[in-house]
Amino acid sequence: MAPPAGSDSILPVRPAPPGPEDIPLRLLAHLPLFASLSDAERLLLAPKMHREAFKAGDTLVEQGTVPQALFILGSGVLAALQQHEGGAHR
């Protein structure tokens, strides 16, 4: 809607509602682990994040390997199992 004729006022612009692309940035802003990062550092890190869903029983990291990612659990339960001699898990 245009302002009335002869008016110099500018209509306020409403920001777009947050979308899925904003989730990583909001997550970085609210988790204590990332509190020491500057806004600029968060802006650099956010695009590197992606969401991934796992099913019950999926393995995220194998024992003896070095993970190549940081996992942030949004919901659910993780179990860390350690395999011992003879194949027993704990």
- The reported pLDDT for the residue numbered 3 is 58
Task: Provide the domain limits for residue 59.
Answer: 20-87
Segment 18-70, tens digit of pLDDT: 676 788 999 999 999 999 999 999 999 999 998 899 999 999 999 999 999 99
Report the alpha-carbon distance of residue 71 to residue 49 in Å, rounded: 10
Question: 12 in a domain, yes or no?
Answer: no
Question: 46 in a domain, yes or no?
Answer: yes
Question: 3 in a domain, yes or no?
Answer: no
Question: 4 in a domain, yes or no?
Answer: no
How far is it between the farthest Cα atoms of the chain? 86
